[in-house]
A and B are shown apart, each in its own frame.
Chain A
Amino acid sequence: MIDYETLRLLWWLLLGVLLIGFAVTDGFDLGVAVIYRFVGRSDEERRILLHTIEPVWDGNQVWLVLAAGAVFAAFPLLYAAAFSTLYFALMLLLFALILRPVGLSFRDKLAQARWRNGWDWALFASGVVPSVLCGLVVGNLFLGLPFGLDDLHRPISSAGFFGLLRPFALVSGVVSLAMLVLHGACYAALKTEEPLADRASLVGVGAAVVLLAAMAACGVWLGSIEGFSVAGAIDHAGPSNPLAKTVQRAAGAWLRNYTAVPALWLLPAAVSVGTAAAGLALALRRAGLAFIASAIVQASVIGTAAAGLFPFLMPSSEAPSASLTIWDASSSRQTLFIMLVAALVFVPIILGYTIWVFRVLRGRISAADVSGVHY
């Protein structure tokens, strides 16, 4: 069996892989849901845009479901503390995500304009709410969340929803919204014909500009935020007990990993270059290239945030020493090992059939594909 320290590190990486899988695949579904009501001007155009994501969004969403499941299995204390501390954010996310399958399935089944317009707004919400919340939550991680652990290790939190709306976190929310809109726009440009592809490209260029600005703002801001770091040694192979360490806060501490390992600067560099490339490719109507660049942006934004936070999973502003790190909030060694084997067996299989499905569904969607009511 692999040693405990390596297993914890691997699961932290795997969690990153799952989140990147989510952003790269379901990210464009969310992005399309945000923009389709505005990019598509007639009902037919909107149906074309929806038809680009209808056959694939469900499989894509499983990356998120699986990421949550992996947190439950690999970092149960994180699952417990994060989901309960972020109660209203999670409920909001949930309600938005509930609207999506229902909206996509129900919208086209009746022809009344009111019915369809109502679902258009519901689907817009199902795209924009999760897109903003992702960044809002990550931003709050950097600021620390108000929670502690009692004698029995029960996570106790005093957080409400409005406490999450802090300026830095709101700018992070703009980052995630812009990056997912960019991704959705690239996908729409790739999967539709003129004039839809044209309009989507324009939206994408705008999103790229916003993303660059918001990301730069976050980067500069991060230097002055009171970051977290573990004081003294922490046993990388010890039993998961978050109360056994001491954590200190200092301005600029979030940049310590970047200072220690300068190669990490490649991650934010990839964000900037990728975003610029995606915007440029869209302007030149090279949608395929733009989509690839935008996929790299998704991955490198997540990488940038994760590299800054490491080894923290969920810092606590209320009781810094109760912060959760990958070394003291993980499952037992055996569970991590069994789950790793399961992931190594199934993730390649999943990738294989997902690629096959996308291949079957390749090609641009046109008006002919959505004419008539498809029951």
Chain B
Amino acid sequence: MIDLHLVGLSRLQFAVTALYHFLFVPLTIGLSMILVIMEATYVMTGREIWRQMTRYWGVLFGINFAMGVATGLTMEFQFGTNWAYYSHYVGDVFGAPLAIEGLMAFFLESTFVGLFFFGWNRLSRPAHLVVTFLTAIGSNFSALWILVANAWMQNPVGASFHFDTMRMELGSFYEVFFNPVAQSKFVHTVAAGYVVGAVFVLALSAWWLAHGRNREFARRSMAVAASFGLASSLSVVVLGDESGYTATEHQKMKIAAIEAEWETEPAPASFTAFGLPDVEQRTTHAAIKVPWLLGLIATRSISKEVPGIEELTNRARGRIVRGAKAYEALMRLRADPHDSEAREQLGQYQGDLGYGLLLLRQTADPPHATEEQIQRAAESTIPNVPVLFWAFRAMVGVGLLLIALFAVSFYLSARHRFEQHRWYLRAVLWALPLPWIAAELGWVVAEYGRQPWVVEGVLPTFLGVSPQPAGNVIASLTGFVLLYTVLAVFELILMVRIVRHGPDRLGYWPIPASAAHGEARR
């Protein structure tokens, strides 16, 4: 009854479009804040170069912003088109933060971004700064609400299942908003966006300096990026650690998979810095372990255990057996809503209903599942260990590398010595792709690590899809890949051209003749 090709293709399409969208979002978030810093400096000092910086980086921001808006629509539509059952099952809870994002953040950002570009000659300096600020605030708030929604998928608090509507319904909006996962995820993700923005400005400025162009422009840009980037990259790690901590409360399996911790270790658990996870043998070869570290990160104590994959699979097995009972009661209630015995049974096992639904992948009749089917369902709760193990380590490694980069940059910036070190300028340019790699890996750890659940413990991913012919998704996925590839090529062509031109060689820089006309008219 479950078409696994359809599930795989729908997931692939979501992953491709989300990862692509997430190439642009962090840069929008980071660059918008950098624009605020630059323009605020302009308004305070009145020095023309800061206005040029705001406008020039604003041009690159605009190209990136357009891509972000365009690809963001895909994300909103896709919940309905490809994840219809998910939308129905959790829309009562998940839809609210998304709609509030539109009301509170996306409207703000989108309305003022137009004035950012076209209001230079129509607004006073402070008024234009306010416009830039509101655009940036809109982007940041956007991330907040999206992550509140996402955090609920990781840790579904404040909601419960209702059999008469066959869905999850909101119990406490307060709990959904103040979901601890949401709080740490928000700061972690937004700070990662700041890092992307900072590296972007740093690397392109370094390129100009290496070519001896736009010295004043580039030095100032680098100074902003170095200090902003250092503060941000430190926050990413601190809040990433906070995410790790909250994950242990709710997503022990994810942590165990990231650590390739097959069996529960005595507390405090050691951290595997390196190793070769072997899924068949359920062991990690050539492991290099740092004593105590995992226990400290994950439990903030030296006495609590971090449960391993084996133990968590066994726990899942128990919940699946209870979930099957919940499913059975639910089916009886669907037939006769007044069956009070079934209602009682559902009430008793309701918390495990999601685990019962996991069985639907093995059998159409969960209450009569065989031992073997139950065992297979239990093992399906283990995410892909090697992928999580490596993605996490690569992300952290890149993060640490970037902290080092910003520390050096900050030091050189303080001593006004960017240009004296050619190796440094070259290294910064090579670092350009790094923050994107870390950001995309962060998505992989968070969302691929959530599998097999679309909503942790509530709804399995395979059940969330829109039931439709797999061919539909092959067609749309092909369309996305083609369109997105063409757009990426055009976007890169434009970015490279504008950077090569640089602020100095743009024929119409700093202000086009028409703009002066506009000022006169005003």
Contact = CB atoms under 8 A, between A and B. Distances in A.
Contact of B92 (A94, A109, A153, A335): A335
Contact of A72 (B65, B79, B483): B79
A65 B98 CA distance: 10
Nearest to A346: B103
Contacts of A369: 514, 517-518
A343 B103 contact: yes
B138 to A, nearest CB: 10
B468 A84 contact: yes
A112 B467 CA distance: 46
A83 B476 CA distance: 14
A94 B99 contact: no
A230 interface: no
A218 interface: no
A152 to B, nearest CB: 6
B169 interface: yes
B59 A375 contact: yes
A154 B491 CA distance: 39
Interface stretch (B159-167, B206-214, B295-303, B372-380): B159-167
Contacts of A77: 88, 91
B169 A335 contact: yes
A310 interface: no
A372 B111 contact: no
A87 B81 contact: yes
A353 interface: yes
Contact of B115 (A69, A98, A154, A360): A360
B494 A106 contact: yes
B366 to A, nearest CB: 12
Nearest to A97: B73
A368 B517 contact: yes
Contacts of B76: 65, 68-69
Interface in B92-142: 92-96, 98-104, 106-108, 110-115, 117-119, 122-123
Contact of B70 (A84, A101, A154): A101
Which of A154, A343, A346 has most chain B Cβ within 10 Å? A154
Contacts, number: 268
Given A90-B81, A371-B514, A350 B103 contact: yes
Interface stretch (A33-41, A52-60, A275-283): A52-60
Contact of B99 (A55, A93, A339, A373): A339
Given A74-B95, A360-B119, A374-B508, A69 B102 contact: yes
Contact size class for B? 35 or more
B165 A79 contact: no
Contacts of B81: 83-84, 87, 90-91
B345 interface: no
Contacts of B102: 62, 65-66, 69-70
B466 interface: yes
A183 interface: no
A105 interface: yes
A61 B73 CA distance: 10
A266 interface: no
Interface in A119-168: 151-157
B80 A82 contact: yes
A334 B118 contact: no
Contact of B88 (A98, A153, A347): A153
B107 A331 contact: no
Given A87-B466, A154-B85, A58 B165 contact: no
A339 B99 CA distance: 8
Contacts of A99: 70
A239 interface: yes
A338 B96 contact: yes
B210 to A, nearest CB: 23
A241 interface: yes
B63 interface: yes
Contact of A372 (B90, B169, B490, B512): B512
B509 interface: yes
Contacts of B117: 54-55
B66 A106 contact: yes
Q: Nearest 4 pairs between A and B by C-beta?
A: A76-B91, A83-B80, A73-B95, A59-B111
Interface of A: 54-59, 61-62, 65-66, 68-70, 72-74, 76-77, 79-84, 87-88, 90-91, 93-95, 97-102, 104-106, 109-110, 151-157, 239-241, 331-332, 334-335, 338-339, 342-343, 346-347, 350, 353-354, 357, 360-361, 368-375
Interface of B: 56, 59, 62-63, 65-67, 69-71, 73-74, 76-77, 79-82, 84-85, 87-88, 90-96, 98-104, 106-108, 110-115, 117-119, 122-123, 162, 164-167, 169-171, 173, 331, 334, 463, 466-468, 472, 475-476, 479, 483, 487, 490-491, 494, 497-498, 506-509, 512-515, 517-518
Given A350-B107, A371-B513, 18 more contacts: A62-B102, A69-B102, A72-B91, A84-B81, A87-B476, A88-B472, A102-B491, A106-B491, A332-B165, A334-B173, A339-B96, A346-B107, A357-B112, A361-B118, A371-B512, A372-B508, A375-B56, A375-B508
